[in-house]
Structure 1
């Protein structure tokens, strides 16, 4: 019954989003910064927000979001057990090591999600500065020799042994909070794009420089996409957004091209056979895993890629293990989970009680979706490999806890929605 209701709600949401493009009324400027009516939006966004608001029980999105997040995590735990079993047995003497570690992080993440789902999102703005400065401090610490932990040439972690954290995960949530707060407080200046974009661009630029110093191009791309989408939904005019997008693309290309090795690795996805034992190795092994899996897969736990052929099988390339062991069916299931999250996240934003909630929901939904898109694209060989994990599914402590805390914020917005 829950599944049928979920399908029904998702279908209605999709129909509402598709139909809104045919409507023509405009929304004129007006309203307070925290009013329920989204003021100063560009017409298309305004039409979307009004035409898709259908009367529904306020707990509908809450229930289904909760189900989708928990199902994704439980599925991830199962696949982590399978994907990490061989390396865990070799390194730690038990195939259950990574599973147990991830289960602990999952429990912590559930607690974080529960707390954030009960904490009114309207109060988050007062923690925004602490989140920004705290994230910046952690990012600086990562770059200090002897403090930051370097893995495979990238210094992205703090901690020791199995207890590690990745500060860049906290940066995503901090920037979302800042952008949502700024776009809400300055709603009356939304047409003065410099007044709105300048502070957000400065904060993003500072974090982008620290991210590229690690280097961490994948997270930089995710952060840039989040900011651009939030600016667009927030009502910033199209021309400055196009200019900012061009500058970001140019900057990313500059950082990638200036180091030939990094550029070769990024472009190896186009022809992994050109260097099958080095830059194209991971991409090839991932695609071989999908080919071995076929439609139904080799069977859970029966894959061969995890036997030392595919590095990072339980983290960045867990989607390839899913494709090998559960086949096309499992691959489509994962995409279906994120599609459900996308539609529920959009619906939560559309039914948000105020502008701040709408922007928060937009940022969080964009974050999860773009990260999943980049990970899946890298695994199937259509995007460069950037070391981005699959949300809720890949192994990783700080990534899981922060994404579940963000999901808790989304749940709180859904709970209070109209």
Structure 2
């Protein structure tokens, strides 16, 4: 007779093994997909497409009220943003298909041109908007050169540091000429004055030095100088000082200096979990100034709720993961440094924008990449994504697959050439040092000894007349005769 316990145990023993669960199956499928040669390239394209669509939708929702109040129609700002996205798409395609060697070779010329634009914007050619003289305005088109300067510094700085990587352990080679050029750019930007541009330019410089392997004491000095510069810019103008004071005590003047920060937090709180619905947020009706530019993340929380904010955070987290994946899977040192620096720049800019919207940082006027309304920022950010996608196609496995199996769907659609494999530079053999000339009359092998010492070592003496004669070696016994006996 079998008891209930024994029957239960026997039944459990006879059951077939459970099939792997859905979570394990998804994990296996995801691991297999990430192991494909072009996985990084496809991930960059996916994140880029999602951020572009989300940005256009939110700009359309946020700018409708502003466009209506200007009297030019409901879609004036959105159409302008759509035009900038079209231009950025062309720039994205050019950055994606241009060989990286050519981009690196042109980085110095682009840097010189961007510095010249920074200097020219301080002349009467520049225009003043929002208290800063940092724009070129040509009719309906505006251009901000600081955005191009960030990209030029990242590309040129990586090229210089990679070329000098064998001597970067010396401070002179590590800091010169990257840091002096960056300080020149800082000075020109601070003269505008543009606090947000100065901060993001500093992020690019710190990322370059970090991935070049600079010691920590250099970052301490840069941090001290950066804090001093930010403090100088903050107290240099009245509205920036008001922003700092409102950050320190936002509830002291809720209808004045702290109005924008308080309204942003109220918009995030009113959205709840699912939000009020797309286009239904009341914060854009003059409750929150600049909602389509700097504070568009607050409108996302108001209309799409916590889920919409989580989507934005997840997309930028994916940018960080994919960018670092591209950097670690490449073997070209310039590609590694460029992809890592550009990734840090994008993620840090998004973190600063979200940080001051939620009240963790003072307001600095930095836009949310790919989502905020803005012409130059959107075009340059799309160029950065094109460079990241180009770097992803230069991973060794991706290069092998593209050159052996063809360009693939996206390669055919975008007419992308096959990437060239990385060829490390040939190591130069050190030239053999030539022997110093010997002094006249000295035998080889004894360059430093005086003539008397050389004669003594060679076994020479002097006769009575002064002529050198060879010394006879003393033998302990009597000399042997030719027959082998002793004399």
Mapped to 2, the partners of 1:364 and 1:8 lie a distance apart of 29
Correspondences of 1:254-269 after superposition (within 5 Å) = 254-259=232-237, 262-269=240-247
Deviations 1:296-329 (A, max 9, x none): 1111111111111211111111101101011111
Change (3 A) 1:265 1:226: same
Point out the structure with max Rg over C-alpha.
2
Q: Name the residue aligned to 1:212.
A: 190
Change (3 A) 1:215 1:10: farther
SS of equivalent residue, structure 2 residue 369: coil
Deviations 1:118-158 (A, max 9, x none): 1122222221221111111211222123x222122112211
CA contact (8 A) 1:10 1:340 kept: no
Determine which structure has the larger helix proportion and give its number: 1
Deviation (angstroms), 1:8:
6.0
Mapped to 2, the partners of 1:257 and 1:99 lie a distance apart of 35
Mapped to 2, the partners of 1:97 and 1:371 lie a distance apart of 27
Query: Is 1:175 aligned to 2:129, yes or no?
Result: no
Correspondences of 1:224-243 after superposition (within 5 Å) = 224-243=202-221
CA contact (8 A) 2:267 2:301 kept: yes
Query: Is 1:400 aligned to 2:378, yes or no?
Result: yes
CA contact (8 A) 1:377 1:383 kept: yes
Q: Name the residue aligned to 2:348.
A: 370
Query: Is 1:71 aligned to 2:50, yes or no?
Result: yes
Query: Is 1:155 aligned to 2:133, yes or no?
Result: yes
CA contact (8 A) 1:193 1:240 kept: no
Deviation (angstroms), 1:202:
0.7
Deviation (angstroms), 1:341:
0.7
Correspondences of 1:330-349 after superposition (within 5 Å) = 330-349=308-327
Deviation (angstroms), 1:386:
0.8
Change (3 A) 1:91 1:10: farther
Mapped to 2, the partners of 1:168 and 1:8 lie a distance apart of 43
Q: What runs of 5+ residues in structure 1 fail to find an aligned partner?
A: 13-54
CA contact (8 A) 1:298 1:325 kept: yes
> RMSD across aligned C-alpha pairs, in angstroms?
2.2
Query: Is 1:61 aligned to 2:35, yes or no?
Result: no
Q: Normalising by the residue count of structure 1, what TM-score does the alignment of the two structures yield?
A: 0.84
Q: Name the residue aligned to 1:136.
A: 115
Mapped to 2, the partners of 1:257 and 1:333 lie a distance apart of 36
Change (3 A) 1:308 1:9: farther
Q: Name the residue aligned to 2:95.
A: 116
SS of equivalent residue, structure 1 residue 388: coil
Deviation (angstroms), 1:98:
1.5
CA contact (8 A) 1:81 1:96 kept: yes
Deviations 1:349-388 (A, max 9, x none): 1112310000100111011011101110111111111111
Mapped to 1, the partners of 2:86 and 2:149 lie a distance apart of 22
Change (3 A) 1:246 1:58: farther
Deviation (angstroms), 1:261:
5.1
Deviation (angstroms), 1:262:
2.7
Q: What runs of 5+ residues in structure 2 fail to find an aligned partner?
A: 1-22, 397-487
Q: Name the residue aligned to 2:177.
A: 199
Deviation (angstroms), 1:253:
2.4
Q: Name the residue aligned to 2:83.
A: 104
SS of equivalent residue, structure 1 residue 326: helix
CA contact (8 A) 2:89 2:382 kept: yes
Q: Normalising by the residue count of structure 2, what TM-score does the alignment of the two structures yield?
A: 0.73
SS of equivalent residue, structure 2 residue 136: strand
Mapped to 2, the partners of 1:258 and 1:82 lie a distance apart of 35
Mapped to 2, the partners of 1:102 and 1:259 lie a distance apart of 30
- Which of 201, 223, 237 is the matching residue for 2:201? 223
Q: Name the residue aligned to 2:437.
A: none
Query: Is 1:282 aligned to 2:260, yes or no?
Result: yes
CA contact (8 A) 1:113 1:407 kept: yes
Mapped to 2, the partners of 1:8 and 1:213 lie a distance apart of 53
CA contact (8 A) 2:193 2:233 kept: no
CA contact (8 A) 1:122 1:357 kept: no
Higher relative contact order (CA 8 A, sep 6+): 1
Q: Name the residue aligned to 1:306.
A: 284
Change (3 A) 1:210 1:79: same
Deviation (angstroms), 1:267:
3.7
Deviations 1:238-272 (A, max 9, x none): 22232222222233223334556533322422322
Deviations 1:69-88 (A, max 9, x none): 11101111000000000110
Query: Is 1:416 aligned to 2:394, yes or no?
Result: yes
Query: Is 1:125 aligned to 2:96, yes or no?
Result: no
- Which of 187, 192, 195 is the matching residue for 2:165? 187
Mapped to 2, the partners of 1:268 and 1:8 lie a distance apart of 47
